[in-house]
Amino acid sequence: LRDNRIELVRASWHELSISVSDVSLSDEGQYTCSLFTMPVKTSKAFLTVLGVPEKPQITGFTSPVMEGERMQLTCKTSGSKPAADIRWFKNDKEVKDVKYVKEEDAARKTFTVSSTLDFLADRSDDGAVVSCRVDHESLNSTPQIAMQVLEIHYTPLVKIISSNSWPEEGQSIILTCESKGKPVPEPVLWTKDGGELPDPERMVVNGRVLSISFLNKTDNGTYRCEAKNPIGRNSTEYVLIVHDVFNTLLPTTVIPSLTTATVTTNVALTASTTTSATATSIRDPNALAGQTGPDHALIGGIVAVVVFVTLCSIILLGRYLARHKGTYLTNEAKGAEDAPDADTAIINAEGSQVNAEEKKEYFI
């Protein structure tokens, strides 16, 4: 061996050792040690030199990528012997569906290996870390890794969040329009039923927030929030229904008005009968100005009159029954039980027509 990289380490009658520095692929081959005896004895060994793969590189990425576009990322490494293995990962999760290509160089000693990752860009991939890992026995379990951070541009995603799930008259509500997109969407646009907000004094827009105070039935409608960026625009809708306060407190009532009536009736039966009826109408403080409904004060008055007439009828009926009972007891025939027949009893009775004028009683 005649090479400056080869040195004699130990030489004796029993051992001969050499060292090779700066090993290259050309050092691979068969080495022979000879013992010059009669006859000459030899021993052979084959030296295999591993080709260390170069650091991988990822190509094919252009920033930014629009949502829905097809992306083809290629990871490539050269100089490996034997051929290195390439694996793809997205956010530390391995991707299996890839294309693997292995090429041997002209000298047929090393290999160039490449792998292609093909997928459609999605908004969920924005900010994801795609890594290409090269594994080879010469790397001593320490793989070489190349990384690429994805940047995906997409249209805004819009959602409306309400602060009140059951808005009632007189209350307030806050509608928040959440819009996510890349680039960041411009200020959102609020509309109602396809037009501008009808009451700017009560409907205040602050950035992405719409605040409506003192709700009433005229606020019912469809509110739309629209957001846009250089990629495109998107919108969503919220249907507002303002509920009646009285119907919320008493869901089973059939009276839609917020006005209540209280009727009080006092009756005393003495020598002279007196009946008084008082109707009080109380206005609900929660009723809105200008809101119309049935006149419950009038209904309460009618009820009071009906009650009064009923009580008078009961009193007159009682007086009639009392008068009838007194007349029966006064005109009773006291000697009727001793008469042999009915005609005789009538003739002998003290209450007969003979002395009817003397036995008649009067009630004043």
The residue ranking higher by pLDDT, 294 or 41, is 41
Number of domains into which the chain is organized: 3
- Residue range 193-201: average pLDDT? 93
What percentage of the chain carries pLDDT values higher than 90?
55
Mean of the pLDDT values across residues 14-35? 89
**Of 112, 132, 150, which residue constitutes the final position of a domain?**
150
Q: Give yes or no: residues 140 and 203 share one domain.
A: no
Answer yes or no: do 133 and 193 share one domain: no
* Domain contains 301: no
More confident residue, 106 or 334: 106
What is the CATH number for 236? Answer: 2.60.40.10
What is the average pLDDT across 222-228? Answer: 96
Instruction: Look at residue 288 and tell me whether its pLDDT is greater than 70.
Output: no
Same domain, 186 and 165: yes
Query: Residue 247 has what pLDDT?
Result: 52
158 has pLDDT over 80: yes
User: Which residues lie closer than 8 Å to 250 by C-beta, 6 or more apart?
Assistant: none
**Residue 98 placed within a domain:** yes
pLDDT at residue 132 is higher than 50: yes
* Residue 193 backbone phi and psi in degrees, to 5: 50, 40
Same structural domain, 146 and 164: no
Does the pLDDT of residue 327 top 70, yes or no? no
Query: pTM for this one?
Result: 0.56
Same domain, 43 and 72: no
The confidence band for 339, taking pLDDT boundaries of 50, 70 and 90, is: low
Do the domain assignments include residue 19?
A: yes
Six-digit token string for 189: 């646009």
User: Is residue 200 a part of any domain in this protein?
Assistant: yes
Among the residue ranges 58-72, 100-114, 141-155, the one predicted with the least confidence is 100-114
- pLDDT for 245 equals 85
Tell whether the model's pLDDT for residue 265 goes beyond 90.
Answer: no
- Distance, CA of 31 to CA of 126 (rounded, Å): 56
**pLDDT of 267 above 50:** no
Burial (CB < 10 A; 0-12, 13-18, 19+), residue 246, is buried
* pLDDT of residue 194 exceeding 70: yes
- Give residue 186's pLDDT band: very low, low, confident or very high (50, 70, 90): confident
Q: How confident is the model at residue 30 (pLDDT cuts 50, 70, 90)?
A: very high
Q: What is the pLDDT of residues 44-53, one digit of tens each?
A: 999 999 999 9
Are both 133 and 160 inside the same structural domain?
Answer: no
> Band of the pLDDT at 314, cuts 50, 70, 90?
very high
Domain boundary among 133, 150, 167: 150
Least confident of 11-25, 67-81, 126-140, 251-265: 251-265
Kindly state whether residues 63 and 41 are assigned to the same domain: no
Mean pLDDT of the chain: 80
pLDDT at 258 over 60: no
Percent of the chain with pLDDT over 70: 75
Looking at the domain assignment, is residue 314 inside a domain? no
Greater confidence, 269 or 206? 206
**Same domain membership, residue 160 and residue 146:** no
Whether 130 and 159 share a structural domain:
no
**In the prediction, which pLDDT does 255 show?**
44
Q: Do 63 and 146 fall within a single domain?
A: yes
Same domain, 69 and 140: yes
Residue 346 confidence (pLDDT) above 50: yes
The pLDDT-based confidence of 348 (bands split at 50, 70, 90) is low
Of 300, 266, 265, 264, give the one whose Cα is nearest residue 281: 300
Residue 10, domain member (yes or no): yes
Mean pLDDT of the region 270-280: 33
Look at residues 119, 126, 236 and name the one whose alpha carbon lies nearest to residue 181. Answer: 126
78 within a domain of the structure (yes/no): yes
Residue 122 has pLDDT above 50, yes or no: yes
Domain end position, chosen among 150, 171, 206: 150
The arithmetic mean of pLDDT across residues 275-298, rounded, is 48
Asked whether residue 320 is domain-assigned, the answer is no
Same domain for 66 and 146, yes or no, is yes
Q: Look at residue 187 and tell me whether its pLDDT is greater than 50.
A: yes
Q: Which residue range forms the structural domain that includes residue 17?
A: 6-47
